[in-house]
Chains A and B, each alone.
Chain A
C-alpha cells in the first residue's frame, strides 16, 4: 500500500529493538537459571511480546480504535522425566521466580514420562537466519482510519445492492519471540504483521448476504491497496445475492483457495504427531503410503523471506526443514515435535508449533479453466461448522457457493452440506489450480474434487 509514510529502516529503532531483544533474552536466561536453582534438571522458557493497534471504520465513520500490548512468559521444567508448565503475563523478577516455582511444583506431582524432555541438541537451529520478517509501520491511528474509510466506502459505493457493512479494519502489530533452553539455546527475533480487511452486506428480495476480503503482509508496502480490497469485498458479496438451496445429489466440488486451504489443514492434522501417537487419525501408518493422486506435491518452505508462515526454528528451537511432506501423492514426512517423534520412535521434523509455508504445487489451469473442466458441479466459497471426524475421516460441513452447469455459473447456493470421507476426497483430487494465494501460510490454488455428496432442500 502506498501511503505518505515510507518504511524507513530507522537506525535508532533498529538499535532500540536489539536492546529490547537483549532485555527479553536476559529475562529468559534468568528464568532458566532460576529453574535450575529450584531443582529442574532441564528447562525451556519463552517470551512473546507484541504491540500494535487496530481501527475499524463502519458506515463512513470510525467505530473502534483498539490498542494492544501483550506479553507473556512460558516456562517448562523437567525434573528427571517429570514435566511442569507455568506462564505469566508479569515479567518482573518476582513473578518470574513464582512462575518457575509453580512449574516445578507441577513437575514434582506429574508422572514420569520416558518420552518427555528437551529436543536432542544436534537438532537445534545452529543459527537464526534473518528472514526479513520485521517491517514496523509508523502509521498514526488517524491515517489508519482514513485507509479503513477508503476501503469501506469503495465497497459500499460499488453497487446499490450493497446496503450495509460490518466495517473495514486496519490492523498493525509488531512482536518479539524469544526462546531459550538449558542446552544453551537462546535466540530471538522480531516480526511484524499488517492487514486491511473489509466485510459488507448486500440485499436482494429481502434476503441479506455478506462476504469479506482482506490483504495481509509482513511489510505494509506489500499490502494490496484499500481500494482493491474494498472492490473485491463488494464483488464477493454481490456474487452471493439470490442464493438458494439445491436438492441432494452427488457432484464434483471445486474448492476456491480460501477454503481449499482447510482441506490441506485437515491432511496436516491427520499426519501430525499428536494425532498419530494417540491413534486419533484416519491416516495412521500413512508414511510411505499413497494418499493423493500422483501429481500432488506438498512441500514446506520455512525460510522464505517476508512470508507469513516463515520461521527459522520451531517452538522448541529445532531447525525448521525445507522438505516435501507429500511427493508424487505419497506421504514423505510426518509433522512431528520432539515428544511425538520419540513416542513414535522417529526423529523430530521441526514442527513443534505447526507447519511453515506449505505449498501445494500448482497445476496448469486457472480458475475459469477449472470451472470448464468441472463442467457441472458445485463451487465452494465458504464452509461453516466443524463436521470433520479426524478418527474416521468422515466429512460433513455446511457450505455456500455457486452452482455450475455446462461450464457456466448458473446461480449462487447456500444452506447446503457437502459430505464424503477425507481419504476418498484426497484420492479424488482431479486438479489443482494455478490461482495460488501466496499470502497464506498454506499456499494452494483451487482444488477440484471429482465427487462428493451435496445435500439441501
Chain B
C-alpha cells in the first residue's frame, strides 16, 4: 500500500464515520493555538482488539474490544496541557482543546496550510489481522496446539495458549499543518506448559508475534515451535539446582537476553530523562560508556517487527538510530518536544500507549550489532561463570543507573563448558558501566521472537530487543548459594 492511500484508509476508518472534516481539524487547531504555544497535536485513534484463551483443553473464553478517541495536546516550553475524549465529535474535541490549551496564556498564529508529508513505504500490511482467519479456525488452531503439545510429553499437567490480535488506526494532525496516518496490525501468541515429575512442578513458556496476520503462526510450524520451546524450558527448570550468589562472569545468549540493553542503557538514553538531567547518562554524549565491541541501535524500521512503526505517534517517520557506536555514546532517543528543548533532532521515538496517554520518548527495536566471536569460543573462554539463555522481565532505576533482569533459564559454566542448570535468579548491575565490561561479542545476532512489552510511567508499548551472544566480565547473580 502506498503512503497516500495509507492516510486515506486511516481517515476513512476514524474520521469519516464520525463526520470529522479537515475544516473541523483546522478549527480545533485554531482553538488549541489560541494561546502562546510552541506545538500542538491531535491524535485520533481506533483500536480493535481480540483475544482467545485455552486452558484445561478447552477454549474457555474470548474477548473483543473496540476503543476509539482522540487526544489533544498543547505544549509551551516545558509545559504540556493534555486532554482526551472517547467521544469523537467536534464539541467534545473542542472542549478537550480548551482544557489542553489552558497550559499557556496568550495567543499565536497557527499554520492553516495542510501538508500531507511523504510517508515511508509501509513496513506492514494495513489489513485487519482479526479477519485473517475465520473464528472456527482460531478455535481449531488453539485446540490442535493443545492436543499436539500434550502428546509431546506425558509429564504435561496443563497447557495454556493465548492468541491476541490488534488492528490499530491513527490519524495525527500537528500545529504546523502536517496530517499523517498509519494502520498497524499486531498479533501475539503465547504458550505455557506445566509439567509434574515426582511431586515437583515446573513451568515453561514461550511465544511470538509480529505486525502481520495470523497465518504467521502457521508458517514454519511456528506455533508448535513455541510449544516445544516452552516444554524444553520447563524440563530444564525441573533439573535446576540452587543458583550461586555473588559476582561472576556472565555469558548471555542471543536474542531475548537483549533486554539487558533495554534496561541497562535503553531507558537511560530516552530524551526526556536527559533533558531533565535525571538519567545516569545525562550530559555524557560523546563519552565512552561501553567497550569498543559494542554498537547498539534503536531501529523502528524493521519489516513486520513488533517494535516497528511506519511513523511514530507524533507523525515522525521511524529510523535506525545509532545510540552507541564502538562504545561511544552517540545519540539519545527523542520525541519532538524533548528534541526541540534540547536542540536536537526528533528520532521517531515519540510513542504513546493510546489516545488517552501523552507521547514520550520510547524505544522501538533495540539491539546490539554482531561481533566476531564464535559463540562456542565465548563459552570456552570462561573458567567459572553463568550462561543465561532466557529471561523474564527487567527493570531500571534510570537515576542511580541500577538495573535488574531475571534469568529463568541459566547454567553454570565450569572450565569452559556449560554444565548444570541453575534456578532462576535476578542479575543486577549498573547501566553506565556494565557494558564497559563486555569482553567478547558473538557473530550470532538474533532478535527476540516478538514478545516484548515495555512499561514507562504507566504506559505500555510493544517493543523488540536483540543481541548476539555476549560475555560480561562480572555481574551480580542473585542466587542463594553463598
Residues of A within 8 A of B (CB): 58, 61-71, 83-90, 95, 98-99, 102-103, 105-106, 109-113, 116, 141, 164, 166, 201, 207-210, 243, 245, 247-250, 278-280, 382, 384-387, 389, 391-392, 394, 396-398, 400, 414-421, 453-457
Contact = CB atoms under 8 A, between A and B. Distances in A.
B255 interface: no
A65 B78 CA distance: 12
Nearest to B85: A69
A432 B206 CA distance: 39
Contacts of B482: 248-250, 453, 455
Contacts of B429: 415
B263 to A, nearest CB: 9
A64 B395 contact: no
A249 B480 CA distance: 9
A455 B59 contact: no
The prevalent SS among residues of A at the interface is strand
A384 B21 CA distance: 48
Interface stretch (B171-179, B276-284, B295-303): B276-284
A67 B357 CA distance: 10
A386 B406 contact: yes
B423 A394 contact: yes
A249 B476 CA distance: 13
Contacts of B202: 391-392
A439 B160 CA distance: 37
Interface string B52-71: 00011011111111111100
B80 A64 contact: yes
Contact of B81 (A65, A384, A416, A419): A65
Contacts of B371: none
Contacts of B247: 456-457
A70 B356 contact: yes
A453 B393 contact: no
Contact of B478 (A88, A278, A455): A455
Contacts, number: 252
Contacts of A421: 480
Interface residues of B, number: 80
Contacts of A88: 65-67
B395 A384 contact: yes
Interface in B58-115: 58-69, 78-87, 96, 99-100, 102-103
Contact of B245 (A95, A248, A414): A248
28 contacts: A65-B99, A67-B84, A84-B64, A86-B65, A87-B63, A88-B67, A102-B66, A103-B64, A109-B62, A141-B102, A166-B276, A210-B400, A279-B157, A384-B396, A386-B392, A386-B393, A396-B243, A398-B404, A398-B428, A414-B402, A416-B478, A417-B477, A419-B478, A455-B245, A455-B477, A455-B482, A456-B247, A457-B476
Interface string B417-443: 000000111101110000000000000
B423 A417 contact: no
Given A70-B86, A110-B62, A391-B194, A245 B476 contact: yes
B86 A71 contact: yes
Given A67-B84, A113-B58, A419-B478, 20 more contacts: A62-B79, A64-B82, A65-B80, A69-B86, A84-B62, A85-B61, A89-B69, A98-B66, A102-B66, A166-B276, A385-B404, A387-B406, A391-B203, A392-B202, A394-B423, A396-B243, A414-B400, A415-B430, A415-B476, A417-B404
